[in-house]
Structures are given as C-alpha cells and as structure tokens.
Amino acid sequence: MRMTAGTDLHEQIRQLVAAALAEDHADADATTQAVVPSSAVARATILARETGVLSGCEFAEMAFVLCDPSLELSWLAHNGSKVEPGQTVMTCSGSATAILAAERVVLNFLQQLSGVATLTAQAVARAGSVKVLDTRKTVPGLRDAQKAAVVHGGGVNQRRDLSDELLLKENHFALSGLSYEATVEKAVAKAQGKVVGIEAETLDQADLALAAGASYVLLDNFRGEELRTAIRFLHGKYPNAELEASGGFTVAQLPVLEGTGVDRVSMGSLTHSVSSLDLSLLLEAE
C-alpha cells in the first residue's frame, strides 16, 4: 500500500478500520451483550469457502486488535496466498465479545480485498505476457487497499491519483482550446518529468501523440484487427512505445490480446465490479 502524505501506513490502516468499527457500533453489540457473558472465551476460525487469493490481512488483524489487543492471532495464509475451499486462513482466541464485535468488519475487509486479488489473478492468468493494470475506479477510501490487493493478485498499479502522472483524455482535449497534437506537446512541456499518457480513439491520434512526446498511448476501444493493425504500425514507427489496450475488457476476453503486441491492458473492473471472496468465521467456546 502507498502511504498518504504525512501518515504512516500503520496509522492509515488503523484509521480506516476504526472508522469501519465505529460505523458498525462494534462497542455497542446489543445482541452479544444480551446473551453472551462478558467473561466468555472463544476460538474463531476463518475458513475459505472457495478458491481464491487472499488480501487484506493487515486490516482484519487491526480490527481484532482494536476490539481487544489481548486477542491471540495466528495466520495460516497471507496476502497473496492462494486458498482453497475448507482451508483455514487464520485463528483467533480470546474474549468472545471482542471477537463478535470485530467479526463483520474483519470479514468485510478480507472478503472485498481478497475478491480484488482473486479477480486480478484470474486476469493475469488469461492475459499471458500482457501486463494487467488497475485504474482509479476504486471504492472511495479504499484505493490504496484495493491497489495493494491488485498487486497481491499479480497485477500492476496504474497511476494512484491525479498528481501521479498526466493522462490526457477526451475531456482534456475538448477543453484545451488547442489541436490534438498541440495539447499533447503542451502537456509534455509542462510535465516536469512526470509520465504523460494519452488516450487515443483513432490510429491517427495515437501517431500524433507519440510524435509529440507521449510516454505511452492508451488505445481506447480498439478491438480485433483494428488493434493488431494499430500496434504493428505504431511499434514499427516507434519501437520503444508503450501501448495499452483499454475499454471494458473482461477476463474472458483477455486471451485475444496475446500475440497482438500490446504491452498492457487496464481494467477498471478489477476494483469497481468485483465479487467478494467467500470466507466464513466460525466460533467455538473455550
């Protein structure tokens, strides 16, 4: 995970988890307070219910710790680990009321982030030699966590935020008041060493962008022979050009990119349309 300026990673995770626990009123668990003795001790086991890739362990651990720092935790799998149905991911022993207070927040983080890692791993497996990148289409407040999950799944992080690099899209060209080529040239001149990416909707635009000094070109909604033709032309004219495919590719469609010559593919679905990995927390009295 990338750290927010002025905040160390541990504190950033603590703040996110504390907010989630507060949202769930973990300190006012009416059901548990009604029927579970405050002195009760239990052992929790988190199990995988389906095949996937684990992510979010530090968030789950923080939730347990914030509810009761004396809980004893043991991880049997870690971020980036492949898990199978029935596999024990971790165990936790101690105050039953604290475990119950943390349960939902623990699972929410683990399931969502493991879902991101799992989908990314599936995409990477089907993309072959083409690098799989995420986007900024993340859950608000969870960007760094989701981008870390992409890495756990074998993917690559695209720019984190608007300050990371320049990425010119159709709205920038519409508002610049300049020609397409002049807009790229202006961006390159003002980039101060930052990467300058260009979204191109036609081969002519991609050609103009690379001629004007773009660091890479994002070939938006190019498909089939159109994509192959564009890549052959651009790599022939600009051998070192970084070419990226984008525009709603699904995991099932990724094998068609192998052999096209495209360097990478960006997929917003890795973070904005993910299904949570099925995990369960089971409790037994001690």
- For residue 198, give both structure tokens: 């260009």
Quick check: is 170 catalytic?
Answer: no
CA atoms of 228 and 222, how far apart (whole Å): 9
Of 2, 82, 137, 194, the active-site residue reads 137
SS3 label, residue 147: helix
- For residue 127, give both structure tokens: 């993309």
Quick check: is 263 catalytic?
Answer: no
Quick check: is 103 catalytic?
Answer: no
Of 103, 220, 244, 264, the active-site residue reads 220
Of 104, 131, 136, 160, the active-site residue reads 104
Quick check: is 220 catalytic?
Answer: yes
Quick check: is 169 catalytic?
Answer: yes
Of 103, 199, 207, 244, the active-site residue reads 199
CA atoms of 81 and 92, how far apart (whole Å): 19
In one-letter notation, the amino acid at residue 37 is P
Question: Strand 82-83 and strand 52-53: pairing?
Answer: antiparallel
Residue 254 backbone zone (phi > 0: left; psi -120 to 50: alpha; other: beta): alpha
Of 2, 14, 43, 169, the active-site residue reads 169
CA atoms 162, 167, 173, 176: torsion sign: positive
Residues involved in catalysis: 104, 137, 169, 199, 220
